[in-house]
Amino acid sequence: MFKDIFDSHDWNSVKASIYAKTDSDVMDAINKSKLNLEDFKALISPAAQPFLEQMAQRSHQVTQKRFGKTMQMYVPLYLSNKCSNSCSYCGFNAGNAIKRKTLTDEEILREVKVIKSMGYDHVLLVTGEENRSAGLSYLKNAVHLLRPYFSNISMEVQPLEQNEYEELVQEGLYSVLLYQETFNKNNYPKYHPKGKKSDFYYRLETHDRLGKAEVYKMGLGILIGLEDWRTDSFFVALHLDYLEKTYWKSKYSISFPRLRPFSGSFQPNVIMEDKELVQLICAYRIFNEEIELSLSTRENQKLRNNLLKLGVTSVSAGSKTNPGGYSADPEALEQFAVSDDRSAKEMEELIKQCGYEPVWKDWDRAMNIVHSQE
């Protein structure tokens, strides 16, 4: 289990070793063909900042070699904003007096109609974390309902048990995204004071449960803006390294959400500059040529336009982050403010202008059918 590896690393020592990396550590890392975790530290260190262009060049080149001149398109579908957690940074925080909604079957299908008309075939289902209204049976039903319409169904919901993930895979689920938010164990309770999410280790071991359940793909990452992003990102790489070796039949993706202003009062503790985000994306790519890197509409147009060439492999567009947002309900409060409100069509055009082919379908539900028969 990852817990054992995690516990053998001390946050402050990791942080100190990242900040101690030198120019020559960075140059060694950029020029190596297979990088280790120490090389990754060099690439995310302050010492790497003068090498950003070189990192970008390598990242661009190896991404094209692996993924070709293509960009995977996906869209989130928010099913519920009910949440029993009190994450201080999140719009769905149980303490926020907002209109709560969990979509019915009929409402889900209304959303589907709009999303399909936008061209999407890969969908990401999102909920707050509330087992009573959006637990296993609700999620299973949602996957069952959506399966005829989408080739590829992902999920970003509360952490579940292994057998629950197995049931969802049987139903047709392809991937699960779950972010640790921060690996700073001491400060974690500060952001997650109540609810099931306050259990740091239960969340930490979720990917082990996903791996055992043989989920096709799992996503990981942190929420940038809580703690030192360099140290937190090292733990993402450490986690990835462990997962790839342990659950070698699964695919992996990383996201790098940066905290944005929202209707609560929380402001980021740590500001990550754009050039630092670029550094992190390139570092992930150079460290792991096969990892999928996913970019949401949290970032603004200009940055997204430029990030397309730097290592990102999947993007969303035209996203709504509130349940019912596509077809009906503008009132239910959104999770975060979308910074890039271009439509899927506009994004498609931009991707083509950048010399990439937008890919709408890269999976077939038939492949899940056999899996579920086993």
Summarize as ranges the residues that interact with another protein (CB under 8 A).
Answer: 64-70, 121, 151, 217, 244, 248-251, 290, 352, 355-357, 359, 361-364, 366-367, 369-371, 374
Instruction: Please give the C-alpha separations between residue 194 and each of 130, 132, 161, 208, 271, in angstroms, as whole numbers.
Output: 13, 16, 20, 23, 25
Q: Which residues pair with 76 in a beta bridge?
A: 124
Nearer to another protein, 210 or 359 (CB): 359
- State how far the Cα of 76 lies from the Cα of 319, in Å rounded to an integer: 6
Q: How far is the CB of 206 from another protein (least distance, A)?
A: 20
**CA distances for 163 relative to 211, 239, 243, 307, 368, angstroms:** 11, 22, 19, 38, 17
Amino acid (1-letter code) at residue 38: E
Residue 239 token pair: 């986690």
234 token code pair: 């090292």
Q: Please, what is the minimum distance in Å from the beta carbon of residue 143 to another protein?
A: 19
- Decide whether 72 or 233 has the Cβ nearer to another protein: 72
Smallest separation (angstroms) from another protein to the CB of 214:
9
Element at 209 (helix H, strand E) = helix 206-212
Residue 141 or 372 with smaller CB distance to another protein: 372
Least distance to another protein, CB of residue 337, Å: 32
CA–CA gap between residue 147 and residue 144 (Å, rounded): 5
Q: What's the min distance (Å) between Cβ of 361 and another protein?
A: 6
Residue number, 69 or 99, with CB nearest to another protein: 69
Nearer to another protein, 53 or 290 (CB): 290
Nearest C-alpha neighbor of 81 from the set 373, 289, 360, 331: 331
Nearer to another protein, 137 or 372 (CB): 372
Of 37 and 369, nearer to another protein (C-beta) is 369
Pick 71 or 157: Cβ nearer another protein? 71
Task: Report the SS3 class of residue 205.
Answer: coil
In 10 A of CB 369, how many CB atoms?
Answer: 11
- Residue 86: count other Cβ atoms within 10 Å of its Cβ: 18
Residue 96 is classified by DSSP as S
Q: Smallest distance, Å, CB 28 to another protein?
A: 22
Closest CA to 83 of 141, 156, 168: 156
Q: Which H or E run includes 42?
A: helix 37-44
Nearer CB in complex with another protein: 229/252:
252
Q: How far apart are CA 120 and CA 283, in angstroms?
A: 29
- The minimum distance between CB 298 and another protein, in angstroms, equals 27
Minimum Å gap between C-beta 249 and another protein is 5
Helix or strand run (H / E) with residue 240: helix 229-246
Q: Do residues 335 and 92 lie in contact, with contact meaning Cβ atoms separated by under 8 Å?
A: yes
Min CB(171)–another protein separation in Å: 17
